[in-house]
A and B are shown apart, each in its own frame.
Chain A
């Protein structure tokens, strides 16, 4: 293929181009001068990139100057300002997100005058411990390389039809994710999905729709499952923490119903996940219409690939055994010793058994997230203590009253829509941490059950199907490079609509039987 004509020019032409280069001002020295010129307006670009940070600070300063509104204490105004500023920063991300957490901690001491030891204490709760422990567990579980085993079982059961494979992937991802968290399962199942795609065709263009269906089956399968059990996601643990913090009073036996344990949560939320499952595959197939209806070639190759792994090893059995032990721990004893304790216990068990190295855990967990949730929850509790949450809740209700949405079903729908909007712009855990105190106070002010409103918020926070950043599972499958951001939008709105309707139906028809 070597074509000398293009790489060896006649000398004459070469000289002419050379002369033109000098004449036209592409002279060598220009580069240096220009490199200096970059510096002079680099500052401005730097400033512009961080514009939202300055906007947030400006909004904060202005809010603090406002005259005190009726019914809000000075403390409440400060906390409210902090929440607004933090929300702007969460959504626009001009600075690394853990910075926001650090700022919240500092502001609590500097602006609210709370003793720094007390602020530090408010950072660690069982919910935060749970988030930390389950992230460590997530790394440990992914590192067991059980994904090849799972893939093997999967294709044996589903056969070779694309629709059945996709449904199988959603079910497997979902069932696993409902217990060990969506990010864990998304990281495990992603290679299975991509392997199936690349084995079908090498050209990404020929398998665009197939890739979308397969990968989104993983992402949405994981996302809808995250609500199933308290250990499915950080947001669930945060909501459980809020219920306890807001309403539980050890001296009053009436308030014991606000302690939601593992089984109780599952009774509320698991049916929603199970009902959603078949619709995920249906909606994805209606939207993307994959190029291949049958994937026998890919499946045969995948089978050959995973069979190389050989029989299950002792370490594999050990990992599965530990996994079930943790699960049993969550179901049976977590209401006594806390979900966080069980998660941390599980992580230690994996480390003690030598199934995972600390270095892997250390580099696999983004500790900034732990910090972020800690600060967000601490701010949420402060929202309650200062009365800011109640004040916002009352105004929110007054706003909804003309629409007839200040009570009953209308209020449920309004809370769900609000949560869906917020969760699509920031991570779902942060959405629950920010909105939780407000919606729980809304429930109190509207004389609705805080449990129902809390569940609606926690479950709606999973409806972040629209954006890549909405849920961990979406972010992880997006890293494959096969999906476009518009793919999430195209199918996501259908998922949001369907999920919202399903949840509200369940809330209306099924939850009353559970006695709330």
Chain B
């Protein structure tokens, strides 16, 4: 009982904090997005959680001998679990950037997971002002599930993870979505899928005039001002006649941002296929920002959305805002 109330209050206090979940897999891409996360989460009101998801050790595939036997044997030799090195390297990057300090308090936590001898482990670093950096080594059946489960423990404002390569064909994606797509579709918070994520080139926000996209504009305004990134707006009209309409959409968004004290660098209204135009324009920016499609359930599964397609085919990083 006390444990539940504890987590409840913990989650209560987390609401006011800006919490970023960064998925680390040892790739350069992941460390680059960690640097971005560090910049975005540099205030005292922001927490950064580094997550490495390790596949669960299960024995059905290993011919009936549980992998735990091999794992226990490895530990007996004094070998570390996979992932610890990657998380430590991530922490060193944060130290180098000054986003973490040597004098922070360190706590270690461990929780048991069914079917795995070692379970989840995390190291939490807290400074005097309550800013938290967490290194978490999590066990899950697959990486996407692990990231989504971690969100449930959060909650988080933003998940950052590396892209899993460009477009693999619609059928394949629908049937067996890659990690990034799966997380971007199922997560209940904003997801940034990093592709050579650099800091300098600002955000490009897509709007279609709907209330939902205006909400995206407002939310990204917050995210962009966290990392002090310049903001631009794009709206794509399907045909020439509705170009005026697109212009008004851009204008509305600009006003919305002006009300929040944020200046728009470029305001683009153009005609064409939304997905292609957005991807082309996006090459000049660090991040393309889109709202999650309004479609729910089966419709979303079958029809997909502009957001999903841009996510799969863009050359730059893409953020789906919720």
Structural contact, B297 and A14, CB atoms closer than 8 A = no
Q: Does B63 lie within 8 Å of A191, measured CB to CB?
A: no
A residues adjacent to B (C-beta < 8 A)? 1-3, 5-9, 13-14, 16-18, 20-21, 23-26, 28, 31, 34-35, 37-38, 40-41, 44-45, 48, 96-98, 131, 135, 138-139, 142-143, 145, 147-148, 181-184, 186-188, 190-191, 194-195, 198, 202, 204, 233-234, 363-366, 368-370, 372, 427, 429, 468-469, 471-472, 475-476, 479-482
Contact A26 B70 (CB under 8 A): no
Task: Judge whether A469 and B61 touch: CB under 8 Å.
Answer: yes
The residue in chain A whose Cβ has the minimal distance to the Cβ of B224 is: A20
User: From DSSP, what is the main secondary structure of chain B's interface residues?
Assistant: loop
Residues of chain A within 8 A of B127, CB atoms compared:
7
Given the complex, which residues of B lie within 8 Å of A190, measured CB to CB?
70, 73-74
CB < 8 Å neighbour of A366 from B64, B70, B103, B298? B64
Partner among A6, A139, A233, A476 whose Cβ is within 8 Å of the Cβ of B42: A6
- A96 — which chain B residues lie within 8 A by C-beta? 60
> How far is the CB of A198 from the nearest CB of chain B, in Å?
7
Least Cβ distance of A9 to chain B in Å? 5
Q: Which residue of A lies closest to B26 (CB)?
A: A204
B119 proximal to A (CB < 8 A): no
- Whether A481 contacts B261 by the Cβ 8 Å rule is no
- Chain B 298-319 against A: per-residue CB contact (8 Å), 1 yes, 0 no? 1001000000000000000000
Q: How far is the CB of A397 from chain B (nearest CB, A)?
A: 32
Across the interface, which residues of A come within 8 angstroms of B95, CB to CB?
1
Stretch of B75-83, B197-205, B235-243, B279-287 contacting A (4+ beta carbons < 8 Å): B75-83
Distance A182 CA – B65 CA, assembled complex (angstroms): 10
**Nearest Cβ in chain A — how far from B164, in angstroms?**
12
B221 touches A17 (CB 8 A): no
Determine chain A's interface SS by DSSP, over half rule: helix
- Among B54, B62, B66, B82, the most chain A Cβ lie within 10 Å of the Cβ of B62
Range for the number of chain B residues in contact with chain A: 35 or more
Ranked nearest first, the 9 interchain pairs of A and B with the lowest CB-CB distance are A481-B82, A3-B98, A472-B63, A366-B59, A369-B64, A28-B15, A24-B222, A187-B70, A2-B101
Q: Are B15 and A31 in contact (CB under 8 A)?
A: yes
Residues of B within 8 A of A17 (CB): 43, 45, 222, 225-226
Contacts of A476 in B (CB 8 A): 62, 65, 67, 70
Closest approach, in angstroms, between the C-beta of B120 and any C-beta of chain A? Answer: 16
What are 11 A-to-B residue pairs whose CB atoms are below 8 Å? A1-B101, A5-B98, A7-B98, A9-B43, A20-B222, A25-B218, A26-B219, A31-B155, A147-B77, A191-B79, A475-B61
User: Across the interface, which residues of A come within 8 angstroms of B44, CB to CB?
Assistant: 7-9, 14
Residue pair B215, A364 in contact (C-beta under 8 Å): no
Query: Would A142 and B45 be within 8 Å (CB), given that A1-B102, A23-B260, A481-B82 are in contact?
Result: no
User: Is B16 located at the chain interface by the 8 A CB criterion?
Assistant: yes
- Check A38/B70 contact, CB under 8 A, given A44-B297, A481-B82: no
B44, B74, B97, most chain A CB atoms within 10 A: B74
A20 lies within 8 A of B74 (CB): no
Complex alpha-carbon distance, A21 and B157, angstroms: 11
Contact partner of B73 (CB less than 8 A), chosen from A31, A142, A368, is A142
Q: Is B69 an interface residue (CB 8 A)?
A: yes
Task: Report if A6-B98 is in contact (Cβ < 8 Å); known contacts: A26-B219, A363-B66, A479-B71.
Answer: yes
Mark contacts of B1-33 with chain A using CB atoms, 8 A cut-off: 1 yes-contact digit, 0 otherwise.
000000000010001101000000010000000
B121 at interface by CB-CB < 8 Å? no
Q: Is the CB of B42 within 8 A of A44?
A: no
CB pair A139–B69 under 8 Å, yes or no, is yes
- Whether B296 contacts A7 by the Cβ 8 Å rule is no
Residues of B within 8 A of A370 (CB): 64
B260: A residues at CB distance < 8 A: 20, 23-24
B114 at the interface (CB under 8 A from A): no
Q: Which B252-306 residues sit within 8 Å CB-CB of chain A?
A: 260-261, 296-298, 301
Partner of B63, one of A13, A182, A481: A182
Q: Which residues of B contact A28 (CB under 8 A)?
A: 15-16
Selected contact of B79 from candidates A98, A135, A194, CB within 8 Å: A194
Q: Which residue of A lies closest to B182 (CB)?
A: A45
A20–B298 Cα distance when bound, in Å, is: 35
5 extra interface residue pairs, beta carbon distance < 8 Å, beyond A7-B101, A142-B70, A472-B64: A14-B45, A28-B15, A44-B298, A182-B63, A480-B82
Cβ-defined contact, A191 with B188, below 8 A: no
A198–B62 alpha-carbon span in the complex (Å): 24
CB neighbours of A364 from chain B (8 A): 65-66, 68-69
- C-alpha gap A372/B59 in the complex (Å): 12
Give B111 Cβ to nearest chain A Cβ, in Å. 19
Residue numbers in B under 8 Å from A184 (CB-CB): 65
Q: Report yes or no: B63 in contact with A427, Cβ–Cβ below 8 A.
A: yes
